[in-house]
Amino acid sequence: MPEPKSVAVLGAGMHPWGKWGRNFVEYGLAAALDALHEADLAWTDVQYVAGADTIRNGYPGFIAGATFAQALGWTGARVSSAYAACASGAQAINNARAQILAGLCDVALVVGADTTPKGFFTPVGGDRRDDPDWLRFHLMGATNPTYFALYARRRMELFGATEADFAAVKVKNARHGLENVNARYRKEVTAEEVLESPMVADPLRLLEICATSDGGAALVLTSMEFARRHAGTEGLVTIDSVSTVTPRFPQTIIEMPNFSTDSAATSASIGPTFKQSVALAAYEEAGVGPEDVNVAEVYDLSSALELDWYEDIGLCKEGEAERLLRDGETTLGGRVPVNPSGGLSCFGEAIPAQAIAQVCELAWQLRGRATGRQVEGARVGISANQGLFGHGSSVIVTR
């Protein structure tokens, strides 16, 4: 196995998630300044800015790397912007990483932030009859929770998952996020409260579906050589892989915003599923395996989806996620805590910031700075996420 191609995480920062209703630039700026402070670097030291985009808040040019560069004060730093739905943040991380690994820069700032409207995410406006995202709302009334619920029902049928299992994920994550100052929801909930909350998309209830939030996250990434000079080698946290793989044909699991899967009539679907392949590529690139993982941040768009991820990132075999949960293995204090931050359950989703926030949490966990939610002695962390249009990501962080 070749040595992983690593970059150092010198600083992480967030603006707390919430429904603040202010301009997203402010959240990104606050997160960037926090990350720079943690890295003990100035904005003028940054050579490259990687922004994460969203379309929901306007259009990509409005929410871009340059937006944050201008807000921090033009310095001539080089810039890029990435749009990949929920994985936008990971692609921004990967842009910065590639620049650093190519030797084109030493210090990069990654920023993502969003201000979200209330309620269901909706497609871009207009009469967009060639846009599957527009059409799925128009022709089927299929919202994002529709798709989450299809997966949840499938788990119940195939593996005997129960509504109580899904509620237990929410109860766990609510408890994990209690002390997290950046989380939006910091309140313990009981299984009864979850199961009494209104049904949104059977079998998923209101408290089991992630909200849409305002928030911002940022990372300062540097070359290993710069990091050793600037911060020393003691306790250095590094990103060892960023997976941004796309699905393989035929993709036989229905995905947002599609009406259908690929057909497997002419070529059988063999090998890992898309979500499995996202994590597998991250493991392979980093030279570690699921058995090495101490902490995971996974995309719990719904409580049930968190269980799918346990299997997709290899923490257990298919069909065993409920046992892992029931045995407390994924709870703080267990073998491999999942979503110690509280996850999307406590944050809600600020799309372009979210994949960056996952890596912020892993960096703080590995540094022993995750106050009130620390996974003791964590050395290897993995993030995983998936979004619209065949985008997904997984990042492996080690110390």
Partner 1 sequence: MPPVKTRLPAIEGWFTLDEDAPALLGSRCTSCGNFAFPKETFFCRNPECQGKEFAETELSRTGTIWSYTDARYQPPKPYEAADPYTPFAIAAVELSAERMVVMGQVVPGVGVDELTVGSEVELVLDTLYEDDEHEYLVWKWRPRSGATGGGRSDA
Residues that bind partner 1 (CB under 8 A): 119-120, 122-123, 127, 129, 134-143, 146, 149-154, 157-158, 198-204, 249-250, 252, 254, 258-267
Shortest distance, CB of residue 142 to partner 1, whole angstroms?
6
In this complex, which beta carbon is closest to partner 1, that of residue 16 or of residue 247?
Answer: 247
The distance of closest approach from Cβ of residue 149 to partner 1 in the complex, given in angstroms and rounded to an integer, is 3
Quick one: CA torsion of 128, 134, 138, 142, rounded to 10 degrees?
A: 170
Of the two residues 137 and 364, which places its CB atom closer to partner 1 in the complex? Answer: 137
Copy the structure tokens of residue 321. Answer: 């996620």
Q: What gap in Å lies between CA 365 and CA 40, rounded to an integer?
A: 19
116 or 331: CB nearest partner 1: 116
Closest approach of partner 1 to the CB of residue 307, in Å = 15
**376: which DSSP letter?**
T
Q: How far apart are CA 286 and CA 289, in angstroms?
A: 9
Q: C-beta of 111: minimal distance to partner 1 in Å?
A: 29
Strand 107-114 and strand 48-52: the pairing is parallel
Cα angle: 164, vertex 167, 168; to 5 degrees? 85
Which CA distances in Å does 394 have to 156, 181, 240, 355?
26, 24, 11, 9
- Specify the residue, 124 or 164, whose C-beta has the smaller distance to partner 1: 124
Beta strands, E only, 39-140: 48-52, 78-82, 107-114
Q: What does the alpha-carbon distance between residue 11 and residue 137 come to, in Å, rounded to a whole number?
A: 40
Q: From the CB of 119, what's the least distance to partner 1, in Å?
A: 7
Nearer to partner 1, 228 or 249 (CB): 249
Q: Please state the closest distance from residue 156 (CB atom) to partner 1, in A.
A: 9
Minimum gap (Å) between residue 87 Cβ and partner 1: 21
Count of beta carbons in the 10 Å neighbourhood of residue 21: 10
Distance from chain centroid for Cα 79: 22
Structure tokens at 219: 């990372």
Nearer to partner 1 among residue 23 and residue 251 (C-beta): 251
Smallest gap, in angstroms, from Cβ of residue 312 to partner 1?
17
Nearer to partner 1, 67 or 386 (CB): 386
Element (H, E) at 380: strand 380-387
Closer residue to partner 1 (CB): 35 or 351: 351
Distance CA 142, CA 128 (A): 16
